[in-house]
Structures are given as C-alpha cells and as structure tokens.
Amino acid sequence: MIWTSRTVNGQVAWTGRTAAMQITLLPQLGSKIISLQNRLTGREWLTQAEGVLGNKGYGSPFADSDGSGWDEMFPTINACRYPEYPWMDAELPDHGEVWSLPWRAEMTEDKLECSVQGVKLPYLLRKTYAFPAEDCLRIDYAVTNLGSFPFSFLWAAHPLFCIEEGMEIHVPEGLTQIAVSYSEHGRLGKTGEVRPWPQPSADQPQIRLDRTEGREEATAEKFYFTGALPEGRASLYDPRKREGLTIAFPKEKVPYLSIWANYGGYQGQYHLALEPATGFLDDLAYAMERKSVAAVLPGETYTWHLEVSWMGQEQA
C-alpha cells in the first residue's frame, strides 16, 4: 500500500494505492474523494466533474458545487435550524457543514487521517483511511463533542457512483419497505410516505427500485429503508461486466440506509449513491423530533466505520 501527494487544480491531493484499489481525495475541498478505481479492471466508480472542481464556500447550496465524487454530509443533510438549547435556531447549511470546509490531513504510518471542526456546533470530526486488504478500503470515523451540552447529528456518506442502465442494487434480505425523502415530480409520493420495496407501485409494476434506470427516465429520488437493518451492507453490481462494489458498516452505530437515485431528473446528472446514515430522513430537526438520530455527550466521542470492497461474479 502506498500513499502519495500531488497538486490537482491548485490543491493538495492524496492518493492511496494497493494492487487492487486506488483512491484520491482533496482535504481542502471538504475531504472529497474524487476517484475510486478498481485497478484490476480499470473501472472508475465515482462520477467525475464536468467542469471545475469546487464549491462556493461554507453555507452555499450543494447544487452549486461540482456534482461529482464522494462527499461527507454532517451534521445534517437538508438545511435546517437546530431545534434544541443551547443552539436553538442555529442555521445548519444544505448537505451539512463539512463538505464545504477545508480539512487537515496527516499521514500516520500507513494511514491518512483527516479532521475538521464545526462552525455552528462544537465538534471535531475525524476520519482515517486505511486498506485492511488489497481490495478493501476502510474509513474510521470519530466525532468528539467539544462543548458542554449533548448534541445530536446526522451523518451520511454521499458517494455518487457511475452507473449504467440495468445495474443491480443489493440490500439485506428482509427489507420490504421504504420511506420517501424526495421524489422528483412525486413519482414515489411525498416526504415520509411509505412504499413497498422493490416495487413501490402495484399499478406500475415496471418500476423496480432495485435496478438502475436509463437517463432518459428523467427521475430523481431519495428514500430510506424502514425498520431495523438485518445487516449493515449494500452493493451495486454490473451484471454485464460482472463486477461491483459493496459498502459495509456497523448497523449498531449506523442504523439506517438510504439510496439517492438520479436518472437524469436532477440537473440532468446520472448517478446513484448508497448512503449509510446515522439518522432517519434528511432533516436533522425532523430526525431529532422522531428520536431517530445519533447523539454524543459532552467530552465524549462517537465512532463508526465504513468499508468498501470489490465484488465479482461469484458474489453477485
């Protein structure tokens, strides 16, 4: 395993490489991962920016950013106001704070550690990248409460994966329902409405949420699986090329799983994200009201991790 640094668009980029996997991230750009490659097949799994990489700074809409790669969403996804003392009505920006803040990066032995401090809430968020196997990337997360009061947070990964029509979305057996967070043109219904998985509409059996659709469908939807996860795992598999990837995470610390499926309906973009999350639905205030959110006490640290590994024909 090798870590190297270079300059990309005037920013320091770190690249981690094994015989089977390669990632590149930009700490100054929200620690965004801009590339996730399978070195065995040559496949790039993350969408690439069509224009210049970057965003318009803290508090700016995510829609005004480059729309590529893998960002971290914390401590909310949708813009909202924190609903409890002592940060009552503190405005938290779209997709959270950390995707538009510069992070610090430091090499420690064969690992890369990135960290950032909160603006509206007193926290230190750290993540450490390592390769426990040639074909596996592990990201360890830790959020420390630097304040004197407990605070709640919603974290979700936001990897915008390159897709083709007909790819398969695999989730743990036993998941049968989804809750709608967002649906362009209301195809799945309104926020909070519950639908069956994987076929959400009995009178439209052609709609299958476990298969990627074509860009010409012009749909864009975000939904969460309801109920407890049997297992912290989700996969995206290409049956034509017989390769895919799996995201694994501890369901005790990250108890929710959502999917963002953009088939040309949002800004004409075409991608899919598998999004493990610590809260239910995208608004931190909404999640706190329903007690479906993670929390960390003063001076304490909440930890979790995420692993990305390749899957082949025998694992499909």
User: 294-296 and 104-108 as β-strands: parallel, antiparallel, unpaired?
Assistant: unpaired
The angle at the Cα of 79, spanning 75 to 82, to the nearest 5 degrees, equals 60
pLDDT computed for residue 167 by the predictor: 98
Instruction: Give 69-127 pLDDT, tens digit per residue.
Output: 999 999 999 999 999 999 999 999 999 999 999 999 999 889 999 999 999 999 999 99
The pTM score is 0.96
pLDDT computed for residue 312 by the predictor: 79
pLDDT computed for residue 250 by the predictor: 98
For residue 93, the SS3 value is coil
Instruction: Give 173-203 pLDDT, tens digit per residue.
Output: 999 999 999 999 899 999 999 999 999 998 8
Is the torsion defined by CA of 275, 32, 99, 79 positive or negative?
Answer: negative
Tokens of 103: 């992070």
Is the torsion defined by CA of 129, 133, 137, 142 positive or negative?
Answer: negative
- What is the spatial distance between Cα 139 and Cα 130, in angstroms, rounded to a whole number? 7
CB 139 within 8 Å of CB 126: no
Q: Extract the residue ranges of the chain whose pLDDT is less than 70.
A: 1, 313-316
